[in-house]
Structure 1
Amino acid sequence: MPELPEVEVTRRGIHTHLIGASITQAQIRHSVLRWPVPDDLTMLLPGQQINAVNRRAKYLLFACSKGTLIVHLGMSGSLRVLPASTPPLRHDHFDLQMDNGAILRFRDPRRFGAILWWDGDIRQHPLLQKLGPEPLSTDFDGQFLHTKIHGRNTSIKEVLMNQHIVVGVGNIYASEALFHAGISPLAAAGSLSRAQCERLAEAVKVTLLRAIEAGGSSLRDFTDCEGNPGYFQQQYWVYGRTGQPCRQCGAPINKTRQGQRSTFFCAQCQQ
């Protein structure tokens, strides 16, 4: 599933093609995604200008003249900017045609993504209003994390993936950040010291920024808006490296299950 870096890479790629452009046509080919695509988008969107493309957690927010188009990539979704003459393929479910000759095309083989519309204050949308802070913002730091995890017996990895505490840190980047912070993913969150929380918050930020710079991770379906894969998977220290030697100490990388997700860690380096 695309995590924060992949969504941010997508946002940066499409941003320059869309800002200031006006929508001339919206086409829905398949409306059955995670939630039904609103039928009235074909009438609502034409004539509206795209003023900004923002990201909140893993949601892309297209600020239009009369509201916000919300896009979530789901497990296999992608957005491509293409020439208007490009014929659609089987899993191309939604198009926005722009007055500059480009098409923004949403592709989602598994159909677990979402395309929604909101004409009010986007911060009050039910999917967004209870989310935690952005991990790359100044609102997320060691002090904030230490306060949030106080008294929690849940594992620190599961806490990092709780979108009500901090957004966008999925399975891959939680495992990697915990390694760089030297903290076991199995540790009870409430047992972490203030100093450990400082290290972890910094490791989260650094890991996400490095992933964005590398174009994200392409393990299965992810490509950027030009169809290019990400390369951060070449920099993994623990994720997906079960049994391989730790790049830091040489001990074999372990794998376990937490909350129905695979967790990778080095028992020697992460105490």
Structure 2
Amino acid sequence: MPELPEVETTRRGIAPHLEGSTVAEVIIREPRLRWPVPADLPALLANRKVESIERRAKYLLLRFSHGTVIIHLGMSGNLRVLTEPFPAEKHDHVDIVFTDGKRLRLRDPRRFGAVLWQAGADNAHPLLAALGPEPLSPAFNADYLQAAIASKRVAIKLALMDNHIVVGVGNIYASESLFRARIDPRRPAQSLSHHECSRIVMAVKETLEAAINVGGSTLRDYVDSDGKAGYFMLQSQVYGRTGEPCRICGTPISQFRLGQRSTFYCPSCQR
């Protein structure tokens, strides 16, 4: 599933080619995604200019003067900018075609993604209204995190994966961040000190930034690609390494289920 670094890399890959471009038409081949693609989207976007392409959590936002196209990649979706009208394949569900001949194509084999419209301010949309701060923003800091989890008895890993507390920290990056912070993922969130919250905040930012930097080398893949490039991840310290030696202390990495998700940690390094 695309995580925040993959979505941010997608944004950086497509934005330079589409910002400032004017929509000529929208082609909807399959409207039955996670939620129906609005039938009036072609009329809403015709002759309108993309003012900016931004990201909120794992949502991509194509902002126009009168509203926003909200795109979620679901579990298997991806976006590519095409400079020619290459024939659509089976899972190419939506094209946004621009007057300069470029087109933004959504491919989504499992159809768990979304293409939605929000008139006016996008932060009023139900999917965005209750989201927590961006993990790479100044708003996500030790003071904020300690206050947000002060009454939370759930494990800190589950708290980090709660989009009401902080957005975009999925299963992989929660495990990796907590290893970097040397915090046991099972610790009750409310038990963490301010200093430990500071370590977690720093670790989340460093982990996500490292993954985004790895993705920087794939930016060219977002233009005239077949759309089948896989998702990237930084070299994991604990995730998926059950039984392998910890890269710090040599202790075998442990795995257990937490919130019905696989969780990986080092029993010696993380307390």
The question of a shared fold, defined as TM-score above 0.5 by the shorter chain, is answered with yes
C-alpha RMSD over aligned residues = 1.5
Q: CA deviation at 1:66?
A: 2.0
- 1:43-62 to structure 2, matched below 5 A, reads 43-62=43-62
Q: CA deviation at 1:28?
A: 0.5
Work out the percentage of aligned pairs sharing the same amino acid: 54
Q: Which residue of 2 aligns with 1:12?
A: 12
**1:52/1:62 contact within 8 Å kept:** yes
Is 1:225 paired with 2:222? Answer: yes
Deviations, residues 82-134 of structure 1 (Å, cap 9, x unaligned) = 12321111111000011122110001111100000011211111111110000
Q: Secondary structure at 2:51's aligned position in 1?
A: strand
Q: Secondary structure at 2:255's aligned position in 1?
A: strand
In structure 2, C-alpha distance between the alignment counterparts of 1:46 and 1:155, rounded to whole Å = 48
In structure 1, C-alpha distance between the alignment counterparts of 2:241 and 2:23, rounded to whole Å = 45
Q: CA deviation at 1:242?
A: 1.0
- 1:84-233 to structure 2, matched below 5 A, reads 84-215=84-215, 225-226=222-223, 227=225, 228-233=229-234
Give the direction of change, closer, same or farther, for the CA distance of 1:224–1:192 in structure 2 (3 Å limit). farther
TM-score of the pair, normalised by structure 1: 0.94
**1:37/1:116 contact within 8 Å kept:** yes
**Which letter maps to 2:66?**
K
Q: CA deviation at 1:230?
A: 4.9
In structure 2, C-alpha distance between the alignment counterparts of 1:148 and 1:52, rounded to whole Å = 31
**1:53/1:60 contact within 8 Å kept:** yes
Report runs of 4+ in structure 1 exceeding 3 Å deviation.
Answer: 226-231
**Which letter maps to 2:159?**
V
Deviations, residues 13-44 of structure 1 (Å, cap 9, x unaligned) = 00001011000010001111110111111221
Aligned length: 265
Q: CA deviation at 1:260?
A: 1.4
Q: CA deviation at 1:229?
A: 4.2
Give the direction of change, closer, same or farther, for the CA distance of 1:230–1:74 in structure 2 (3 Å limit). closer
Q: CA deviation at 1:189?
A: 0.5
**2:2/2:231 contact within 8 Å kept:** no
**Which letter maps to 1:179?**
F
**2:82/2:104 contact within 8 Å kept:** yes
Tell me, which stretches of 5 or more residues in structure 1 are unaligned? Answer: none
